[in-house]
Structure 1
Amino acid sequence: MAKKQVPPGPPIADAQDAGKGRLKIIIAIAVAFLLAIGLSIGGTLFFLDKGDDKAAEQPAEAGQTATGKPAAIYEVLMPAFVVNFNHKGRQRYMQVSVALMSRDQLALDALKGHMPLLRNHLVMLFSSQDFAALMTPVGKEMLRQQATSSVQELAQKEVGKLAVEQVLFTNFVLQ
């Protein structure tokens, strides 16, 4: 009797076991990938919700800072102020962008009605300065303080209360 010859090679059972092993690895990788995505989304939502809790713990009154003062309100005066000087026989110019800082929106709104008068006071103040003094940081700070007191006096006179806490220079150019 002749036996049937089986070609040499891996047995059929070993090939099936190898296929199942690869399938298990692929499934494990897919589960790990989905778990990583789930943890990422969960962590993001957890931290975003935690930020909302901090906002709820802040003072109940809107517009309050941590120190208890009302929040600052800024009013930018546009266009920028441009004045000219005659310095040592040469024509010189100064351009100043001004912002008003207040903590009372109603008083600031009342002052807006007097903006032409306020701008006139500031132009007269800026044009009466000495060009050489304005070239120093001390001179610029002195001008800012003078502008603040001038605006505060005008607000007290026209509105009846201190509407502006500070006058700020947001741009200052000398030429």
Structure 2
Amino acid sequence: MAADGDLKLGEGKRGLKKIIVLAVVGVVALVLAVGAYFYFMGANSQDATTNVENSVNNAEGGARPSGPEGDAQYVALPRPFIFNVPGASRDRLVQIKVQLLVRGSNNKTLAMRHIPLIEASLLTAFSSANADELVTTTGKDALKNKALSDLQQALLEVAGSVVVEEVLFTSFVMQ
């Protein structure tokens, strides 16, 4: 009878091994199914988000291109702008570090190619400011908007298109 008992134990171990193998296969299949679900459904939800953004932009009248040509890229200018501005009580020294927001790699290449023109245009706009205006946030915003419009006009004449979407001050120091 001992031989019969050993056979039953051996069959029990084989059955346990089969159950473990089936459980592992089931878990792997479940993980793959969940991963495939999120992969494919994630792409659909991303398309839906893009469609919502495009409809919002179209409703606002400012449709922006999407895809690789519409990616926001930043061009950091190599040197900070240091200049004097007159004020009511005294002149002040201003240092501004600037980055440019462009859309797409083509515009980034154009901006990098025309760095001297960009620097000259921005320095002209910055040096026309008044120290009393630059103390306030509205004065800084007005300076940023003036610099952007002057820069876009200069690049439109040379490059034939509006290359820069926004001028960003990354550092603004006035003494």
- Alpha carbon RMSD of aligned pairs, Å? 3.2
Cα distance in 1, alignment partners of residues 32 and 80 from structure 2: 46
Give 5+ residue unaligned stretches, structure 2: 1-26, 55-63
Q: Deviations over 1:121-162 (max 9, x none)?
A: 211221121110111111111101001101111111111111
Structure 1, unpaired ranges of 5+: 1-38
Task: Say if 2:101 and 2:164, in contact at 8 Å, map to a contact too.
Answer: yes
What is the rounded CA distance, in whole Å, between the counterparts of 2:172 and 2:51 in structure 1?
A: 31
CA gap 1:171/1:49 in 2 versus in 1, 3 angstroms: farther
Aligned to 2:78: 78
Shift of 1:111: 2.8
- What number of residue pairs does the alignment pair up? 135
Change (3 A) 1:131 1:73: same
The 3 A distance-change label for structure 1 pair 73 and 65 is: farther
Measured after TM superposition, the shift of residue 87 of structure 1 is 3.2
Q: Which amino acid aligns with 2:124?
A: M
Aligned-residue sequence identity (percent) comes to 30
Aligned to 1:101: 101
Counterpart-to-counterpart distance in 2, 1:64 and 1:113: 34
Q: Distance in 2 between matches of 1:100 and 1:136?
A: 22
Whether the 8 Å contact between 1:82 and 1:96 is mirrored in structure 2 is yes
Cα deviation, residue 172, structure 1: 1.5
Deviations 1:6-29 (A, max 9, x none): xxxxxxxxxxxxxxxxxxxxxxxx
Corresponding residue for residue 150 of structure 1: 150
Partner SS for 2:164:
coil
Whether the aligned pair in 2 keeps the contact of 1:104 and 1:163 (CA below 8 Å) is: no
Task: Specify which structure has the higher proportion of helix.
Answer: 2
* Counterpart AA for 1:142: A
Structure 2 equivalent of residue 10 of structure 1: none
Change (3 A) 1:89 1:66: closer
Shift of 1:105: 2.1
Instruction: Determine the C-alpha separation between the residues in 1 that align with 2:33 and 2:131.
Output: 59
1:144 corresponds to which letter in structure 2?
A: K
Match of residue 112 from structure 2: 112
Task: Show the 5 A alignment for 1:1-175.
Answer: 52-53=39-40, 55-57=42-44, 58-59=46-47, 66-67=53-54, 69=65, 70-88=70-88, 90-175=90-175
Give yes or no for contact 2:82–2:96 (8 Å, CA) kept in 1. yes
Q: How many Å apart are 1:66 and its aligned residue?
A: 4.0
Amino acid at match of 2:97: S
